[in-house]
Amino acid sequence: MSKQKPTSDDSKTRLTGAEIMWATLEGEGVREVFGYPGGAILPVYDALRKFPIRHILVRHEQGAVHMADGYARASGKVGVAIATSGPGATNMVTGIATAMLDSIPLVCITGQVGSKVLGSDAFQEVDITGITLPVTKHNYLVTRAEDVAPALREAFHIAQSGRPGPVLVDITKDAQQATAAFDFAAAAPEKVHVHPMLSVTQPAIAEAVELIRAAQRPVILAGHGIIQSGAMKQVVALAERAQIPVACTLLGLGGFPASHALNLGMMGMHGESWVNHSIQESDLLIALGMRFDDRVTGSLSTYAQKAKKIHIDIDPAEINKNVPVQVALTGDLAAVLDQLLPLVRPRDGAAWLRTIDRMKGDAAVLDIVNLPDNGHLYAAHVINDLWRATSGNAVIATDVGQHQMWEAQYYKHDSPRSLITSGGLGTMGFALPAAIGAKIACPQKEVWVIAGDGGFQMTCPELATIVQENLDLNIAIINNGYLGMIRQWQETFYDKNYQCAPIGSPDFVKLAEAFGIRAAAVRTRSEVMSTVAEARNHKGPFLINFLVEQEDTVYPMIAPGSALHEMIRRPSNNPLVER
């Protein structure tokens, strides 16, 4: 970390460490932060009134980090969360790990006990830099007021450069109280980490171009890195010029428009069968900003055996980590594609696209919109209806479980940053606070939470934050009376031994009303559209408790450790039947 350079006239710019913290955030362009006070961070809260920054008081520090995370995912900016030492800091850990696993840029600031008592088991002392070392991109313990600005400026730089991620800055109470000279410009990081195009040499580019030219059955694997790099246009250009079909990861949804004719849909454990079969039959995979997660590959020893692979990713650690590749182009995706695209010649992909269409014909789900109402309310129908009602334009924050997978299958995302979901850590309780962050980042956008009855109960006290901030966002609880994804695994792999899978809930309508939020329950399909319309027309938050079919299963599914093509398909009596 670079130390702030001394200025010639310190007297004009001397501030407390706490004031320096806010002034630095202001200088970094921060307008909103999410936080919760406590003893070791009180000097910071005392100084807040002097700065034009909106502080959103949360109900739990995990919520603050998920809000900062949702804010970052929706806007592309760095999210900021603040907590006190000890329990405040440890409550942040799940949120930080969630952001780390999905490469989300955050700066988390914690108060720490005084520097003189560090290591003495002082009141509310925990070694939060030690605890978060494995789940942060970097972290700092700041013990002097003059180091506050340089540490924070470096934290912002690290959080958003290269592969983004969360950075924690722990500031002792005496560092917040002491004074130091403040000069924002002088506190800029000395070492700016530039990410060179590590292996983007002309021969490597030429090799990639030749692999694309020669391929008969290419597939683009579209990942989260497309959205993070802002490379959507380049990816569409590549796919269209070379007529290559595109399969998306969960976090890549929206990075390539769902309605595009070349979009196959989501790959992996709950991807549609034609998507996974295309990958297994492919002779060239072009992986763009995705990390071959195990939810995506199934068993590695049987993964895409016939395919050569090109991997474009900003993080060299991802290259050859899970899947060996023939050509690696390590750098920012948009910049790499800018070099590659002019060299790619139009190709005729019709034969391969026809083959995939035939696979699709065999497995395509009938348009569930047109399925007759059989008196049951299926989660897939609810989500598909929500997609139609919002014309696919809403920002959706999902929780984790079956409803998350149905959302991925039945809400079609055409634009980037419109799906906010915890992929890598799979953190239940994420959706509600993340949606709050998204709404604060993008107040003009329509924002919906889609949460399960289990996960919603993990962070529902944040309903109070929605009311406090007067946020106009809507909540859909997909209430199946179960920890549904757990029940599904027990049904399939544990002989239907539904241990601890049924879960009771409060009356969610009454719960919402107790917070001052309008709410309604929906039990039949015929009520879905009218209730969604009521929620959308209502000025202010609205919660809908969808009482859906209890023992419903997400298909297709790949059992853990199985090959990508060994899918458990929809049984013929499933309401979402296949042809």
Ligand X SMILES: Cc1cc2nc3c(=O)[nH]c(=O)nc-3n(C[C@H](O)[C@H](O)[C@H](O)COP(=O)(O)OP(=O)(O)OC[C@H]3O[C@@H](n4cnc5c(N)ncnc54)[C@H](O)[C@@H]3O)c2cc1C
Ligand Y SMILES: Cc1ncc(C[n+]2csc(CCOP(=O)(O)OP(=O)(O)O)c2C)c(N)n1
Query: Interface residues with ligand X (CB under 6 A)?
Result: 102-103, 163, 223-225, 228-229, 249-252, 266-271, 289-291, 293, 295-296, 313-315, 318, 332-333, 400, 404-405, 423-424, 426
| Residue 66 or 173 having the CB closest to ligand X | 66
As a whole number of Å, the end-to-end CA separation of the chain is: 61
Residue 456 annotated to the active site: no
Of all residues in this chain, which one has the CB nearest to ligand X in the complex? 423
Any contact of residue 486 with ligand Y (CB under 6 A)? yes
Residue 233 annotated to the active site: no
Using the contact rule CB under 6 A, the part of the chain among 191-199, 319-327, 448-456, 528-536 near ligand Y is 448-456
SS3 label, residue 488: helix
Residue 28 annotated to the active site: no
Contact 102, 251 (CB under 8 A): yes
Any contact of residue 484 with Mg ion (CB under 5 A)? yes
| Residue 15 or 96 having the CB closest to ligand X | 96
What are the CA-CA distances from residue 92 to residues 69, 141, 323, 407 (Å)? Answer: 12, 16, 33, 27
Instruction: Please report, as residue ranges, which positions from 449 to 478 form the binding site for Mg ion (by CB under 5 A).
Output: 452-454
| Residue 476 or 517 having the CB closest to ligand Y | 476
Residue 468 annotated to the active site: no
Q: In what order do the strands lie in the sheet with 542-547?
A: 419-420, 395-398, 447-452, 474-479, 542-547, 518-522
Residues 6+ apart with CB under 8 A from 456: 399, 431, 432, 475, 477, 508
Could you tell me whether strands 567-568 and 557-558 are parallel, antiparallel, or unpaired per DSSP bridges?
antiparallel
Instruction: Report the alpha-carbon distance of residue 398 to residue 450 in Å, rounded.
Output: 5
| Residue 39 or 426 having the CB closest to ligand X | 426
Residue 173 annotated to the active site: yes
Using the contact rule CB under 5 A, the part of the chain among 319-327, 335-343, 484-492, 530-538 near Mg ion is 484-492
Among residues 399, 407, 462, 552, which is the contact residue for ligand Y, using CB under 6 A? Answer: 399
| Residue 22 or 411 having the CB closest to ligand X | 411
Among residues 40, 74, 246, 400, which is the contact residue for ligand Y, using CB under 6 A? Answer: 400
Among residues 84, 229, 427, 480, which is the contact residue for Mg ion, using CB under 5 A? Answer: 480
Instruction: Report the alpha-carbon distance of residue 397 to residue 420 in Å, rounded.
Output: 5
Could you tell me whether strands 14-16 and 179-181 are parallel, antiparallel, or unpaired per DSSP bridges?
antiparallel
Number of residues that bind ligand Y (CB under 6 A): 19
Any contact of residue 386 with ligand Y (CB under 6 A)? no
Phi then psi for residue 562, to 5 deg, are -80, 165
Q: Which residues pair with 424 in a beta bridge?
A: none
Residues 403-442: x where in contact with ligand Y by CB under 6 A, - otherwise, as a string: x----------------------xxx--------------
Output DSSP code: residue 110. Answer: E
Among residues 37, 63, 225, 455, which is the contact residue for ligand Y, using CB under 6 A? Answer: 455
| Residue 45 or 508 having the CB closest to Mg ion | 508
Report which of 126, 104, 103 is spatially closest to residue 113, judged by C-alpha positions. Answer: 126
- Where are the extended beta strands (E) located within 59-153? 79-83, 106-112, 138-142
SS3 label, residue 395: strand
- Dihedral of CA atoms 317, 319, 324, 325 in degrees, nearest 10, equals -170
The least CB distance from residue 421 to ligand X, in Å, is 8
Binding residues for Mg ion (CB under 5 A): 452-454, 480, 482, 484
Residues that bind ligand Y (CB under 6 A): 399-403, 426-428, 452-455, 478, 480, 482-486
Any idea which residues carry the catalytic annotation?
61, 123-124, 173, 485
